[in-house]
Amino acid sequence: MKKLHFAHALLPDGWAAGVRITVDDQGRIAAVDADMPADGCEAHAGIALPGLPNLHSHAFQRGMAGLAERRGATEENFWGWRQVMYRFLAVLDPDDVAAIAAQAYVEMVESGFTSVAEFHYLHHAPGGGRYGDPAEMAAAIGRAAAESGIGVTHLPVFYGFGGFGGGAPEPGQRRFVTAPDEFQRIVAASRHALRDLPDAMVGVAPHSIRAVTPGTLAEVVDAAAAVPIHIHIAEQQREVDECLAWSGRRSVDWLLDEMPVDGRWCLVHATHVSAGEVSRIAASGAVAGLCPITEANLGDGLYPLPAFLARGGRLGVGSDSNVRIDAAEELRLLEYGQRLRDQMRNVVVSHADRSTGRALCDLALAGGAQATGRAVGRLAPGHRADIVMLDPEHPALVGRQGDHWLDGWLFAADGRAIDRVWIGGRAVVERGRHLLRESVRRRFARTMRRLLEN
């Protein structure tokens, strides 16, 4: 048992002072007690928050961050970016993926993300040949997760086809296309490969409606039982148009008509949705997986947040392409996009005198925990001891109290507001730096030099 003591902490019931958190040998919170002396504890003068779950990541894409920011000869949108991404991933081997993912995860942890849902579609060898172990690449993700300490929900991706209704895949998709039976072998092997990661969850991710057929999607969903199910949906208007042409229905309507969408599901992006679809997502209990930095970078569009929240919709945030990795920035940009569109402030808050920073954190903690299918997002017994500690002396936080700390962190601070991070009760960040930052960065640098020379 380990006992941590914090000057202040955000508990499920609100702010508390003199908080003692007892962590068991499995990294779970055994007890939380407020108004306690620090005697016999490892004492910290900071502000403890539950670590944020990152509900959508493609870790390898951290290696191409900033490499698609010049105008090309073809279309300047998501589809043009995707071609750059396909060229980048074509040569990556498992060690490259482990090196890039470790860098991404260290940056996530330093920014306040303590768990990640890894939407993993890079299954096969360069050219599409099969590895002897179907979980070769999942194991690379597992090595990166173990090194960084981040909690993992691994989501092997089912990618069956290159377009709506069973279109042929294009050459750039050879490393991820599988038949449904091969996919089930990848899922089983991934479970085995990640068995030693503390409290890891393995879910499934049908890539998108355009990458499945109704029959193969049903097969994947039926086999998933109680685990998280994530899917990209309606990220681009073109995808919705193609779905309409194929089925006569919009993407989200099609999914909700055809599949038993419920609280296990995370609909990633869901950017282009009608008023009816917004209501239906909220009523389904599924989480909307919003990725504000990537959606801005790719020119995707803006989610209709006020209508969704008015219907009690659940949401979380993800770093997706990892072009920037910063938990506070994702939440800030989520709010700022809505402000720019609607020409108003404090959009996510429905009641007067409530804090926008608190509302954003509450939404992302609850929705992120639900989407990752792990006991995270609350400083409460039975949950993982994933704790982010803010520095109360940071210029954006000093002299404040309660929810003003969250507003200061999300809207006014830089990355140095986070002093320490524990994951599963284990210290991984001290004075703002991951304990393995230098060695992970050196290996990442060697990998990137070699990749970019070729």
Residue 206 pairs in a beta bridge with 158
| Region at 437 (left for phi over 0; alpha for psi -120 to 50; beta for the rest) | alpha
Cα distance between residue 34 and residue 385, in whole Å: 16
Cβ at position 181, least distance to Zn ion in Å: 25
Residue showing the smallest CB distance to Zn ion in the complex = 320
Of residues 148 and 294, the one with the C-beta less far from Zn ion: 294
Nearer to Zn ion, 66 or 248 (CB): 66
Of 96 and 320, which CB lies nearer to Zn ion in the complex structure? 320
Please identify which of the residues 124, 269, 272, 383 carries the catalytic annotation.
269
Write the CB contacts of 19 (distance below 8 Å, at least 6 apart in sequence): 5, 6, 8, 9, 11, 32, 33, 34, 36, 48, 379
CB of 343 to Zn ion, least distance (A): 29
Half-sphere exposure of 191 (CA within 13 A, CB side): 10
Residue pair 274/254 in contact by the 8 Å Cβ criterion: no
Give 147 or 320: the residue with its C-beta nearer to Zn ion. 320
Cβ nearer to Zn ion, comparing 19 with 55: 55
Could you tell me the sign of the dihedral formed by the alpha carbons of 247, 248, 251, 254, in that order?
Answer: negative
- Shortest spacing between CB 318 and Zn ion, in angstroms: 7
Backbone phi and psi for residue 249, each to the nearest 5 degrees, phi listed first: -130, 150
Q: Kind of pairing, strands 42-50 and 29-33?
A: unpaired
Going by the DSSP 8-state scheme, the letter that residue 114 receives in this structure is: E
> Minimum distance from CB of 148 to Zn ion (Å)?
20
Nearer to Zn ion, 219 or 320 (CB): 320
* Residues linked to residue 43 through DSSP beta bridges, in sequence order: 5
Residue 207 CB, shortest distance to Zn ion, in Å, is: 9
Nearer to Zn ion, 10 or 268 (CB): 268
Minimum Å gap between C-beta 60 and Zn ion is 12
Q: Which is nearer to Zn ion, 60 or 444 (CB)?
A: 60
Using the 8-state DSSP alphabet, how is residue 410 labeled?
A: I
Binding site for Zn ion (CB under 5 A): 320
Edge-to-edge strands, sheet with 265-269: 229-233, 265-269, 287-290, 314-317
Nearest to 60 by CA among 131, 151, 144, 178: 144
3-state secondary structure of 204: strand
Instruction: Report, in Å, the least distance between residue 101 CB and Zn ion.
Output: 15
5's tokens? 């003591």
Q: In the annotation, is 56 catalytic? A: no
Contact present, 233 and 258 (Cβ < 8 Å): no
Active site residue 269: yes
Which of 253, 300, 320, 391 is the catalytic position?
Answer: 320
What Cα–Cα distance (Å) separates residue 45 from each residue in 8, 9, 18, 415? 8, 10, 9, 19
CB of 196 to Zn ion, least distance (A): 27
Q: Which long-range contacts (CB under 8 A, 24 or more apart) does 366-370 make?
A: 366/314, 366/316, 367/55, 367/287, 367/288, 367/314, 367/315, 367/316, 368/52, 368/53, 368/54, 368/55, 368/115, 368/287, 368/316, 368/317, 369/53, 369/316, 370/263, 370/287, 370/314, 370/316
CB atoms within 10 A of CB 259: 18
Q: Which residues are catalytic?
A: 269, 320
